[in-house]
Amino acid sequence: MTIRVWGYLDEYAAEREEILDAVDTVFGSGRLVLADSVRSFEEEFAARHGVPHCVGVDNGTNAVKLGLEALGVGPGDEVITVSNTAAPTVVALAATGATPVFVDVREDYLMDVSQVAAAITPRTRCLLPVHLYGQCVDMAPLEELAARHGLAVLEDCAQAHGARHHGRPAGTMGTAAAFSFYPTKVLGAYGDGGAVVTSDAEVDQALRRLRYYGMEERYYVTALPGHNSRLDEVQAEILRRKLRRLDDYVAARREVARRYAEGLADTALTLPETAPGNEHVYYVYVVSHPRRDEIIAALRERGIELNISYPWPVHTMTGFAHLGYREGSLPVTEQLARGIFSLPMYPSLTADAQDTVVENLREVLKALS
């Protein structure tokens, strides 16, 4: 039997009646696009974050893209972010016509905010911190820099549903925040989905126009750009049901993380640490070892799947070669990418399955020592 790095079937079995009821609710409503389920989810997700506005969109990539466009980011602008994120963060940024400017990260994988000030130029329009792996970037220095230079801040919260930083929820510390509801996420749909939250009424209005062809009323385009980027009613209704369980999902992930920390504490692995002031939600459980590839191959032979999030920093990809970054440009990012890998992590991962992962991993590490 294979132990997968992520799976949803046990969770679906436990929640099946509620998920199917959500589907039936939408199909029986007579409204399939931008109707009651999207509207209700937007209200509930906004309330969860203590902000007045949430705009549901079709996926997390477009949440970043539309979020940037709503903040006025476009061709000729620069956006400061990191390279050790999922490529869609930067693909979405580039799709606005703006130029990504990368800063390095700390040993805990989070943006090194001490490098941001030096990266600001007259063309800088926005800061795009990525709350990676389930915990938040140190936001206070970014907020101060943004205020001083008149910059927008778009938080990438795709991996941080439910995370907090000094008591503040991820997604409430910038001008706006982009979320993904891809199935693997801490709050995942049964397909694609995304959202942008904000406290700015003008940004909210721009987002609603951007996701609906540039229209503010049917058939009349008010301004461009415009996209067809609406959150699906079925996914919205499923997300409404799952949002009520978010605290349970987070608690289960933290328990899986606790068991890993306990079972692997005396090994040669570098285990994740929670940065000061953070409340980690463990979207993925990332460890590091210099012989990463051998470990992954050995565990695969034993029926255990591992993953690398992410093997190639964005600035090293040929699709971004035009930006001019060279090997050594972001030394910490590059060094970390050579050793990181992720262990199985999801709320329904059983203690027995996790024990199997830990036992086999310990055996492999011992053989490599």
Q: pLDDT digit string (tens) for 80-115?
A: 999 999 999 999 999 999 999 999 999 999 999 999
Which among 264, 267, 262 is positioned nearest to 366, based on CA atoms?
267
Which among 240, 142, 177 is positioned nearest to 50, based on CA atoms?
177
pLDDT at 26: 98
Phi and psi at 297, nearest 5°, equal -65, -40
User: Which H or E run contains 335?
Assistant: helix 331-337
- The burial class, CB within 10 Å (0-12 / 13-18 / 19+), for 339 is middle
User: Which amino acid is located at 288 in the chain?
Assistant: S
- CB 160, CB 281: distance < 8 Å: yes
Q: Where do the CATH 3.40.640.10 domains begin and end in the chain?
A: 9-103+110-243
pLDDT at 121: 98
b/e per residue 264-277 (b: at least 16 CB within 10 A): beebebeebeebee
Render pLDDT for 169-207 as a digit per residue (tens, 0 to 9): 999 999 999 999 999 999 999 999 999 999 999 999 999
pLDDT at 176: 98
CA 248 to the chain's CA centroid: 19
pLDDT at 174: 98
When pLDDT is averaged across residues 57-78 and rounded to a whole number, the result is 98
pLDDT at 137: 98
Cβ contacts of residue 312 below 8 Å, gap of 6+? 337
Render pLDDT for 128-154 as a digit per residue (tens, 0 to 9): 999 999 999 999 999 999 999 999 999
- CB 171, CB 36: distance < 8 Å: no
pLDDT at 1: 79
Render pLDDT for 221-251 as a digit per residue (tens, 0 to 9): 999 999 999 999 999 999 999 999 999 999 9
Q: What is the dihedral of CA 156, 325, 146, 113, to 10 degrees?
A: 80
Query: Which two three-digit tokens encode residue 151?
Result: 């910059």
pLDDT at 108: 97
CATH fold, domain 246-368, is: Aspartate Aminotransferase, domain 1 (3.90.1150)
When pLDDT is averaged across residues 16-25 and rounded to a whole number, the result is 98
- CB 261, CB 282: distance < 8 Å: no
Render pLDDT for 313-350 as a digit per residue (tens, 0 to 9): 999 999 999 999 999 999 999 999 999 999 999 999 99
Angle CA 87–88–91, to nearest 5: 90
Q: Where do the CATH 3.90.1150.10 domains begin and end in the chain?
A: 246-368
Render pLDDT for 275-318 as a digit per residue (tens, 0 to 9): 999 999 999 999 999 999 999 999 999 999 999 999 999 999 99
Which among 272, 294, 263 is positioned nearest to 342, based on CA atoms?
272
When pLDDT is averaged across residues 262-286 and rounded to a whole number, the result is 97
User: Which H or E run contains 79?
Assistant: strand 78-82
- Looking at 3.40.640.10, 3.40.50.800, 2.60.40.10, 1.20.20.10, the CATH number of the domain 9-103+110-243 comes to 3.40.640.10
